[in-house]
Structure 1
Amino acid sequence: MNVSGHRVVTNEELLERLNGEMRHAVAPVTVFVGVEILLGFVGNLVVLGVFFFRYHHCNFRYFVLCLAVFDFISTLTTMPGEILTQQYWYKYPFPIVCKVKSFFNVFTVSGEALCLCTIAVERYRKVCAPFGWQIKHKYALLWIVVIFVVAFVLAFPVFFLWGATSHTKQYGGRYVTVTLCEKDARFSESNTPMAYVTTVEAIIAVCLVIMMCLYVFVAKKLIKLRKKAQYHCKSRSHSALNMNEAGMVNNLISLNNGDVPTVSNVRAPQITQTIDTYDETDGGESEFYDVESCQQDRVTSWNGIERSSRRKRREKAERVRTKTVIMFILTIVFMFTIIMYFTLLTMITRSEDILRTMTDSQKTVYFFFLRLVFINHVINPFVYGCLDPQFKRILKSWCCK
C-alpha cells in the first residue's frame, strides 16, 4: 500500500491485465484457428491415407502428398503455436516454442509455394505442350525432395533470428515489462530479420508470378479447346445428319430398283484430324485433348469397335481438366491469402504501435485476416472431395466398409 492507504498494483498484475485484454480481443480468432486445426488434422490425415495407399501412381498423386505433408505438419506445429501466442501475447512463456513455431511457419509456407509452382509447370506442360517433354515419375519424386530441402534451408535462419524477447511498454500510466514472440533479443536492434523476411517474401513472390503467368496460358488453352470442340460438335452433327438422310434416300432408291440395301450404302462421316497425345508420366494414364470428341461420338455410333476406346479417351481428357481445375483453385486461394498475410505482416512490422492504437474489435478483424493464411492447410481435402471423382469413390468405399 502507498502512504494514502491504497493498494499498489504490481507489475505482474498489470502484465496479467494487459495480456488478458489482448486474449479477450482475439478470442474469436483463437476459436477460428482451433476449428481449422481440427478440420486440417482430420482432413489431411484422410488425404494422406487415400493418396498414399489407394490412389493410382501419377504425378498428381505425388504432388498432392507433398502438399498434404506440409499441411499436416502445420496443423501439428504452427497452428497450435499460434494459439499459444494469442493466449500469451504479452507474457510468452516458452522461447523454444516461439522458435519452433516460427520455423515451421516459414517452412510450410515456402514449401507450399514451391510445390504449387512445380504443379503449375507440370499442368502447363500437359495442357499447352502435350507433345513436348513431360515431368517423369522419378524426376517428380526427386523434385519433391528438393522442395523439402529448399524449404528447410529457407526456414533455418529463423532459429537464430526469432525468439522470445522482452521490452517495456506503457500501460495504465506505468511502464510494464512484456515478453513477446518476435525478433530475438540479440537482433532486436538489427536490420537482419527484416532483410531475411524481405528475401523470403521475394522468393515467394517470384513463385506467385510464375504460377499466375502459367495458369493464364493454361486457362486460355482450355478455353480455346472447349470452343473448338463445341464448333466441331455443331458442324459435324449437322454433317452427320445430312449424310444419314442421303443414305436413307439411296436405300429407298435401291429398294425401288429391287436391290437389297447394305450397310455400305450408309456411310459415317469421315474423321478429320484430332489433337491426341499420350503421356506416360502418370503411370500409364493417357492424358490428351480431343477437340472433336463430339464428332467422334457420331463416328462411334457407326463403328462399335471404337466405342470403348473413345469413351476411355474422353474420361482421361476429363481427368486432365479436373486435376488442372483442382490445382488452379488451390493456387488462387494460396495467392490471395499469402499476399494478404505478407501485407498485414509488413504493417505490424513497420509500425510497432499499431496494435496499441487498435480497439478490441479492430484487433479481432486484423488477426482474423492475418491468420486466414491457415486456410491453405485446411481447404485441400474439401476441394479433392468435391472435384476428384476417384478420391470420392475411395472415400465412399471406405465408408461402406
Structure 2
Amino acid sequence: MSTVDDTGVDKGTWLSNASESELLDEINDEIKIAVTPVSVFVGIEAFFGFWGNVFVLYVFIKRYHDCNFRYFVLCLAFLDFISTLTTMPGEILTQQYWYKYPFPIVCKVKSFFNVFTVSGEAFCLCTIAVDRYRKVCAPFGWQIRPRQALIMCGMIYGAAFALSLPVSFLWGVHQDVKIYKGRNVTVTICEKDAQFVDSQQPFVYATAVEIVNGICLVIMLVLYILVAKKLILGRPTSQRCQNPGASMGSKSPASRAKSKQKPEISNGEGVSFTDVQIRKSIATKELSTTEMRSIDDESVPVDVNDVYGTDAETPDEDGTSEGSHKHRSRRRRREIASRVRRKTYIMFVLTILFIVTTIMYMTLLAFISGGILKSLNDYEKAVYFFFFRLVFINHVINPFVYTCLDPQFKQIIGEMKNNVLKILKKG
C-alpha cells in the first residue's frame, strides 16, 4: 500500500522513481534527526571544553607555581584542548553525515586523535597516580621532581603518539550497501579503512589498545585504593608508637625537658625519640631551603597524617626562639600536607570519572568492532552514540573540578575577575 506525505506526493511512487543519491539523502536525513540531540550535547561539551581548557592553560602556564601538579595538569589540559579541536568536532560531523561521509582525511584525523587523547590521558593519570602514591604513602622515599615530571609529560605524548599511529592506516572511510525499503543504496561510512574492511587487523589493534589502557586503569585503581587507605585510616598502630609527638602536648615543661635529656625507646626495634627528632631536623632544613628558593610546595617530605600529632603542642614550645622556629616549621609542614591531600583528592575525582567513562567507552568500542551498529535502528544508534561519547566529559570537567577544589586556582580566578572589573569601570 502506498502512502501520501504532507506535500501530496505518493511515497511508493517516489521510492520507485528516486535516484540513488536522493535515497542516500533520505537515509542520512533520518539518522540525522535521531542523533541531532547527541550532536548538540557534544557541541556544548566542545564549547565549554575549549574555553575552559584555554583558561586552565593560561593560569597554569602564567600564574601557577612550579610543581609536579602544574606540569601534569598542563599535560591533561593540552590533551583536552586538542580533543575539543579535533575529536569532538569530527564526531559531530560523523554523526550528521553518517551514511555519506564527505571528508576521508578528516575521518582519519578524528580517529587518530580519538585514540591519542584517550590513551594520553590514561598514561598521564597513571603517572599522576604513581606521583600521588609516593607523596602520600612513601613521603620520605624517592619522589618525582618537577623537572622529571616535565620529561614524563613529553614521554606520555610520545607513547600516546606511537600507540595511536596505526589508526592512520586502519581507520578511514569505506563504502557499503544498505537495503532501504527494498532498494540497495551505496553508503559511505567513517569507520574502518576500505583496505581493512574484511581484515581482522582493526579488531586486533583495538583489542591491544584496550589492554594497554586497561592495565593503566588497574594501576590507577590499585594505587588510589592504597592512597585512600592511608588518608582515611591514617597511620598503622606501630607507627603511632614510634612517634610520641602526639602525646607530648599534654606534658608539662619539666617533663618535656626531661624527655630531651633522656631518649625513649618506643618499641623493640630500638627507634628512639632522638631518631625522630633527627629526621624532623632534616625535614626542617629542607623546608628552609624550599622556602628560600620558592620551589615545589610538595618537595618537603611530610607524612600527611603525622602532622596531626603536632597540633596539640604548645605553640612556642618552651618560649625560646628555637621553639618558635619549630612551631613555624610544623605549621609549614601541615600546610604542605594539606596541599598534598587536596591535590590528591582532585586527581582522585578526575581519575574515578575517567575510569568509569573509559570502561564504558572501551566496552562499546568492542561492540562496534563486532559490527553491532548494523543491527541497530537510528534511534538505538543515537542512544549508543550518547553513552559511547560520554568519555568526552573528561575533556570538559577538569576546569570545574579545579575551580571547586583548588584554592589557589580559585584565588587566581578571583584576582583576574577583579582586574577585569577594574578595567571595565575605568572604561
Q: TM-score range by the shorter chain?
A: 0.7 to 0.9
Kindly indicate whether residue 406 of structure 2 is the aligned counterpart of residue 388 of structure 1: yes
Shift of 1:359: 5.6
| 1:181/1:222 CA distance change after superposition, 3 Å | same
**Counterpart residue identity of residue 338, structure 2:** E
Kindly indicate whether residue 366 of structure 2 is the aligned counterpart of residue 357 of structure 1: no
Kindly indicate whether residue 389 of structure 2 is the aligned counterpart of residue 371 of structure 1: yes
Separation of aligned partners in 2, 1:185 and 1:379: 36
Separation of aligned partners in 2, 1:394 and 1:268: 46
1:16-41, Cα deviation, whole Å (9 max, x unpaired): 11111111111111111011001100
Indicate conservation of the 8 Å contact 2:140/2:302, yes or no: no
**Counterpart residue identity of residue 326, structure 1:** I
Shift of 1:137: 2.5
Indicate conservation of the 8 Å contact 2:231/2:305, yes or no: no
SS at match of 1:135: coil
Kindly indicate whether residue 307 of structure 2 is the aligned counterpart of residue 289 of structure 1: no
| 1:356/1:282 CA distance change after superposition, 3 Å | farther
> Which one of 313, 325, 330 corresponds to residue 333 of structure 2?
313
Shift of 1:47: 0.6
Indicate conservation of the 8 Å contact 2:207/2:366, yes or no: no
What residue number does 2:233 align with?
224
Kindly indicate whether residue 312 of structure 2 is the aligned counterpart of residue 298 of structure 1: yes
> Which one of 41, 53, 63 corresponds to residue 54 of structure 1?
63
Separation of aligned partners in 1, 2:126 and 2:178: 42
Find runs of 4+ consecutive structure 1 residues off by over 4 angstroms: 4-7, 235-241, 264-282
Indicate conservation of the 8 Å contact 1:287/1:320, yes or no: no
Shift of 1:94: 0.4
What residue number does 2:44 align with?
35
Shift of 1:357: 3.4
Indicate conservation of the 8 Å contact 1:78/1:104, yes or no: yes
> Which one of 192, 199, 212 corresponds to residue 203 of structure 1?
212
| 1:238/1:211 CA distance change after superposition, 3 Å | closer
**Aligned positions of 1:121-140 closer than 5 A:** 121-140=130-149
Separation of aligned partners in 1, 2:297 and 2:120: 28
| Matched pairs, number | 374
Separation of aligned partners in 2, 1:5 and 1:44: 53
What residue number does 1:83 align with?
92
Separation of aligned partners in 2, 1:5 and 1:119: 63
| 1:290/1:12 CA distance change after superposition, 3 Å | closer
What residue number does 2:19 align with?
10
Separation of aligned partners in 1, 2:403 and 2:154: 27
| 1:207/1:295 CA distance change after superposition, 3 Å | closer
Separation of aligned partners in 2, 1:177 and 1:333: 40
Indicate conservation of the 8 Å contact 2:94/2:190, yes or no: yes
**Aligned positions of 1:262-273 closer than 5 A:** none
Shift of 1:331: 0.8
Indicate conservation of the 8 Å contact 2:140/2:301, yes or no: no
Indicate conservation of the 8 Å contact 1:137/1:282, yes or no: no
**Aligned positions of 1:93-242 closer than 5 A:** 93-225=102-234
SS at match of 2:185: strand
Separation of aligned partners in 2, 1:269 and 1:168: 90
1:315-353, Cα deviation, whole Å (9 max, x unpaired): 11100001111111111111110110111121222134x
Indicate conservation of the 8 Å contact 1:66/1:115, yes or no: yes
Indicate conservation of the 8 Å contact 1:162/1:184, yes or no: yes
Structure 2 length as normaliser, TM-score? 0.80
Shift of 1:236: 8.8
| 1:9/1:270 CA distance change after superposition, 3 Å | farther
